[in-house]
Structure 1
Amino acid sequence: MALTIAVESPLQDEVRTLVASLDGYLQPLSPPEFQFQLTAEQMADEDTTVFVVRDDTGKAVGIGALKVHDATLGEVKRMFTTPAVRGTGAGWKVLRAIEAKARDLGLARLVLETGSTAGFEPAWALYERSGFTPRGPVLDYPDSAYNCFYEKTLT
């Protein structure tokens, strides 16, 4: 299966569907107060670049976003692929695209927050294989038993 990744607007029905699928997957895994999900509207902010993964039929099958916090720091957000493309490298490819954009912007570091409960194992594996290392809380996220944090130095 050929996959393509491009920067696209999150304000498309297909992307909204992916965001809803991601939210639906995440909701039972931890309490709502420890989930920090961007809406499609928030992802459309100027500080966020959204990458959409499409299959060879043009169907949107994955997303990921880069949120820029300042001249040196970016955050990986909303990483998700549909079950049909899991295990094909789609997540790795979108993460590579996010990193490339961050480097193009001159960012020195990427951080991310993800869940710490069962169900997040594939995310941890992807981030760790991609050179992210566990760390303490970042940005304004709370330190809790439901969240874990990663970072990667780019320069």
Structure 2
Amino acid sequence: MKMALSIALLVVMTSSAGAQYLGNYSANPYAPNSTGNAYGAGSPYNPNSVNNPYGRYGSTHSNSSANNPYAMDAPKLYDSQGNYRGRLSSNPYDPDSISNPYGRYGSRFSPDSVNNPFGAGNPYVPDSPTNPYGQGFSIQGADDD
């Protein structure tokens, strides 16, 4: 009984110490959790939206923002299987940024890049961010610690 309680406590602690879900990086304008939906997770009025120019994750001045070209703590992307797919960042110098044209997650030649239409950015794959009817990649922002 004591072992089960300690395992349950450990699971709760690790899940609360994790990241904050911000929606899905997706071109789908109909999905409520899509950043492509201006009335859902992509709303510029949503405080946690990457499209909110005054919010933590959308401001050009926040270190946690997807839109700050110098940010080093931008939100992370994960596919539907939980695989890390880089950072949703406009920083072209961050090695994990999807905006780095020479990086693993930003190069149009890398199979792990959302910018490769034959790799992770394939518009015919259901969880691809470029599929207009797909679910996209999960966006995880830094937790407020």
TM-based fold match above 0.5: no
Larger radius of gyration: 2
TM-score (norm 1): 0.24
Between Structure 1 and Structure 2, the one with more strand by share is 1
TM-score (norm 2): 0.25
